[in-house]
Chain A
């Protein structure tokens, strides 16, 4: 027990310290990798709330990453090039507010419909809604259609300079820790217990008098908002957003991270994101068909150790 706790702590400390050390000795590539990792891990933490703890297998969560990134890109675009004055700003707090409101609203409206379905239908319909977001952005020429939108100015936040890669990393890392803590808190709350009861035996929870649909909807909205926030960071990090980032295969990658790391665990999404980012680097340098071995690996995880990487630690 003690050993496992120290191991998890060691991972977090390494994730914080090593990238900065590498950056200082001129290997900035690793800092960028770690920033991307943290951002993807935040999205995975958000997805884990519904997939892991709530048993809702959403195949459309990349949409929220995209919405969050466009919530930076679109106001910044107008701020630099004019038009839509009410929207034009490079204020980071406004970017975050827009991202939270839009992704929360998207989760609420699509959740109203998706959560009427179960199983494979739920997976398909969440994917369908995210593809709608995909085609929406493809169709807007002003924001680059499928070529995407270059974000020429990062979000302005007092005392923080996101142009500095170390600060960008630190913001991403501390956001990750914050959301891991927040989701942990939610899952240990009364609401969280109800959510795991629903995952286990929905019919029984209805008999016990719970409004199952409403609880799922709230979790779904929370989850979407967390991914939307990750999108704000992603937009600032890559300074570029395109519909391709919303594509269903991106949603699949988020699912992979959660399942690979171990559903319904605090550290699982982070483990999943670490392995994903490393594998992506290694495999994609060997072959452009890296999704194939990756997919096979995921199937192996699902078949042979259902608890994901976290279960190896808790044994």
Chain B
């Protein structure tokens, strides 16, 4: 199978802090690749570089064989990459369905449609319905996002990522701040998505990662110290001491 994403020798420094260090990573089409690592390891920074919100100091990022290292973020969703945020970022004053609608390609392509009502196009309505059913949020379709629980906001973010028909989803700690029940719901949700979409998952919750991932990479101080199947990562003594020790 082909690589959908390939990262070569990526480096990024913030002043004296090394956030990414000679990082190499390949993700196969269709797999769920998890990245684990302690706080401050550079996980979010890595996603931001893939998504083009920040650019690396050196190194290359290839998406479906094309060099996208310096393609800015607003062009990324057009290419087929989408991300969610560690700290929920949605449009709070709008409704759930409006948030999804804004995330669709259709809405973006009809950006300059000034006079026709936005909310009655069948393709968009179908899409909203589909995405909300996928994440189990269909009952909240017309609710203002303000009124959603934190857990539902996290689901909404996933639904928005789905809405754009992306081939690659970058999920930055989707379980952050969730209670045990909500975490289990989120794991079930990601299990359903797995296989339909290539996912790069950053997660702190070890149970979740071992339950979901096809491949796991361990990131410490900006460096990937190991990549492999969940079993081999679990058994790797180097990782046990460096990171999994406390678990």
Interface size on A, residues (CB 8 A): 26
Assembly CA distance A197 to B107 (angstroms): 12
In the complex, number of A-B residue pairs with CB atoms less than 8 Å apart: 88
Contacts from B to A (Cβ < 8 Å): 51, 53, 73-78, 83, 89-94, 98, 101-103, 107-108, 110-119, 160, 164
Q: Does A211 contact B (CB under 8 A)?
A: yes
Whether B77 lies near A197 (C-beta < 8 A) is no
List the B side residues contacting A215 at CB < 8 Å: 111
Given A205-B102, A208-B102, A215-B111, are A189 and B74 neighbors across the interface (CB < 8 Å)? no
List the A side residues contacting B101 at CB < 8 Å: 193
Whether B117 lies near A207 (C-beta < 8 A) is no
Q: Does A186 contact B (CB under 8 A)?
A: yes
Extra inter-chain contacts (13) besides given A186-B114, A191-B111, CB under 8 Å: A188-B119, A190-B113, A190-B118, A191-B112, A191-B113, A193-B102, A193-B119, A201-B90, A205-B102, A207-B74, A208-B103, A209-B75, A210-B102
CB distance from B106 to the nearest CB of A (A): 9
Assembly CA distance A215 to B112 (angstroms): 8
List the A side residues contacting B83 at CB < 8 Å: 207
Whether A201 lies near B89 (C-beta < 8 A) is yes
Whether A209 lies near B114 (C-beta < 8 A) is no
Q: Please name the 8 residue pairs, one residue from A and one from B, whose CB atoms are nearest each other, closest first.
A: A209-B77, A190-B118, A200-B91, A190-B113, A204-B89, A193-B118, A190-B110, A191-B114
Q: Which residue of B lies closest to A212 (CB)?
A: B74
Q: Which residue of B lies closest to A264 (CB)?
A: B93
Contacts from A to B (Cβ < 8 Å): 185-186, 188-194, 196-197, 199-201, 203-212, 215, 218
Q: List 19 A-B contacts (CB under 8 A).
A: A185-B115, A186-B114, A189-B113, A189-B115, A189-B116, A190-B107, A192-B114, A192-B118, A193-B98, A193-B119, A194-B107, A201-B89, A201-B90, A207-B53, A207-B73, A209-B76, A210-B102, A211-B111, A212-B74
Assembly CA distance A194 to B73 (angstroms): 17
List the A side residues contacting B113 at CB < 8 Å: 189-191
Assembly CA distance A210 to B108 (angstroms): 7
Given A200-B93, A204-B90, A211-B74, are A189 and B114 neighbors across the interface (CB < 8 Å)? yes
List the B side residues contacting A218 at CB < 8 Å: 112
Whether B117 lies near A203 (C-beta < 8 A) is no
CB distance from B34 to the nearest CB of A (A): 22
Assembly CA distance A189 to B93 (angstroms): 17
Whether B91 lies near A201 (C-beta < 8 A) is yes
Q: Which residue of B lies closest to A185 (CB)?
A: B115
- In this complex, the member of A209, A212, A215 whose beta carbon has the largest number of chain B beta carbons within 10 angstroms is A209
- In this complex, the member of A199, A201, A203, A211 whose beta carbon has the largest number of chain B beta carbons within 10 angstroms is A201
List the B side residues contacting A194 at CB < 8 Å: 102, 107, 111
Whether B115 lies near A197 (C-beta < 8 A) is no
Assembly CA distance A199 to B91 (angstroms): 9
List the B side residues contacting A204 at CB < 8 Å: 89-91
List the A side residues contacting B94 at CB < 8 Å: 193, 196-197, 200
Whether B117 lies near A209 (C-beta < 8 A) is no
Assembly CA distance A209 to B90 (angstroms): 14
List the B side residues contacting A212 at CB < 8 Å: 74
Contact of A208 among B53, B77, B116, B117 (CB under 8 A): B77
CB distance from A130 to the nearest CB of B (A): 26
